[in-house]
Structures are given as C-alpha cells and as structure tokens.
Amino acid sequence: MFDVPVDAWYTWLGLSLASVVLLGVGTALPTTPPPAAADVADTVDRAAASTSSLTAEHPLDARELRVEPNRLGLRNDAGTTHATFAFGPVTPADGNQALLAVLRGAPPSSRFDSAVGLCAAAGAARDRSARWQSVDGPLLVRHVVWEGCDVTLVA
C-alpha cells in the first residue's frame, strides 16, 4: 500500500539527484590530513629547552605557517591546526634580516654589535603581530646563547 512503484519517474529522478549529491560530497573531501602542529611545536620546544646553542629543523606538510611567541599555526587544504609551546616565548625571525642570518647559521657577533642588540631585536620581533606566510622549506629553529642573551629563533 505504501510502496513506490519502481517504474515511477520521480523515483528515478530522486535516485539520480542523490547520486549526484553523494558524488559531490565525495570529491569535496580533503585528500590529505591537516598538518601536525604538535610535532612541529615539540621540535621547537626541544631546541628552546636546551641549555646551550642548538639548531634544528622540521619538515612541514603545510602550505602556510604562522609563528607567534607562544604558539604556532599550520594550514593546508585539509584545515588549520595550532599548538602551544611549552618553552616560550620564541622569536619569529621572519621580519628581520639580521635575525634570519643568525637563524641560518651566522654567528650573532657578525650581525649584532652586542648581545644587548640581539636581545633588543628579538624583543622587537616578538612584539610584531604574526601573519600567515607561505612555506618554502622545513621549519628552522636555532637556540642562541650569547653573553647573557638567550633567544630561540624560528622561521
């Protein structure tokens, strides 16, 4: 009594529309997982917790990165993830050429007149507002201890 005859046109139309909707949902699902921000934060924390100078890098599976003094964010087509640093604050080195050079291995004394200058540049970098940047390689982390100045540079 409540059965729909299979040869009814509206039954076939409904099944066709349901198939198109399911196909659309299936193709819209992301093919990769969201980036693992906690793993990246662990690498930064290991470097920041060191008692001496240390350099580390971590491969990124993200399209964009945002580094703040106490946390970082990663995003790709599958979503955005954030992680908080246990050993912070860290210094985003992306906006200062001298800090970037030190992060990439230059001795701090080759870019700054004194440890006070390094600490001042690091403080100014931490005060800038964070912004999303495209990723073009692994995350670099360098913990620098120089004449009483102790900073962790990240970019």
| pTM reported for the whole predicted model | 0.80
Summarised one tens digit per residue, pLDDT across range 32-46 is 788 999 999 999 999
Cα–Cα distance measured from residue 83 to residue 38, given in angstroms and rounded to the nearest whole number: 5
On whether the CB atoms of residues 85 and 71 are closer than 8 A, the answer is yes
Q: Domain limits at 136?
A: 37-154
In-domain check, residue 42: yes
The label of the residue with tokens 């979503």 reads 79
Query: Is residue 98 in some structural domain?
Result: yes
Tokens of 23: 């196909």
142, part of any domain? yes
> How many folded domains does the chain comprise?
1
Task: Establish if 15 belongs to a structural domain.
Answer: no
- Listed residue (16, 34, 13) closest to 24, CA to CA: 16
Q: Answer whether residue 26 is part of any domain.
A: no
Q: Tens of pLDDT along 64-100?
A: 999 999 999 999 988 999 999 999 899 999 889 999 9
Let me know if residue 4 belongs to a domain.
no
In a domain, 83, yes or no: yes
Tell whether 67 is covered by a domain.
yes
